[in-house]
Structure 1
């Protein structure tokens, strides 16, 4: 089970990094619950694939298309949970950000059903995204 979930997580991050939203959509459950950290315009809980894609689209627009996970360092599995240590970055006319993070995915029956994100510098991420 853990190895299969690690494979799903690898596929997800590969698709995220290459911009393959079709594959991302296939890996996210229709009713995925997404926990976006911080106190910025994108923070909070999103329920459903469409709400997650709307949020991600807003992040791409706000970052002038630059927001990206530029490195997935480690994937660790424990049953239906997969934790990934990552590095992400973005920029826009008012500034830039680059930091480490942790993405925690809960995978059930071959789909990502819940996602929790953690930022290495929440204040800097909030300042970048704004209200």
Structure 2
């Protein structure tokens, strides 16, 4: 089970990198619970496909389409949970961010049902996204 979950997580991150939102949507459970860290306009708990895609769309708009996971360093599984060490970046007029992060995914029946994100410099990420 752990190996299959790592494969699904890999597929998710590759779809995100390619901008394949249909595939991303297919890998997220309809009732996903997404825990976005920090104290910025996107922070908090987002429940369901619509809320998650609205948040991600807002991030793309705020970053002028530049927000991206540009590296997947490692994927590590433990039962129904996968941790991913990643690097992400974004830029907009007058600001940029580039940092490592850890995403923790909980999977059930081949779908991502819960996601927690961690940033190497949450204060810098909060400043980039704004309130």
What is the rounded CA distance, in whole Å, between the counterparts of 2:106 and 2:94 in structure 1? 35
Residues of 2 paired with 1:122 and 1:7: CA distance?
28
Q: How does 1:1-131 map to 2 (within 5 A)?
A: 1-131=1-131
TM-score (norm 2): 0.99
Provide the rounded CA distance (Å) in 2 between the counterparts of 1:124 and 1:73: 21
1:78-110 deviation line (CA, Å, top 9, x unaligned): 000000000000000021000000000000000
Gaps of 5+ in 2: none
Which of structure 1's runs of 4+ aligned residues deviate more than 3 A?
none
Partners in 1 of 2:96 and 2:121 — Cα distance? Answer: 13
Query: Distance between the aligned counterparts of 1:87 and 1:47, measured in 2?
Result: 24
Q: In 1, distance between residues paired with 2:9 and 2:100?
A: 18
Please tell me the root mean square deviation across aligned C-alpha atoms, in Å.
Answer: 0.3
TM-score, normalising length: structure 1: 0.99
Secondary structure of the structure 2 residue equivalent to 1:88: strand
Rounded to whole Å, the distance in 2 between the matches of 1:14 and 1:59 is 18
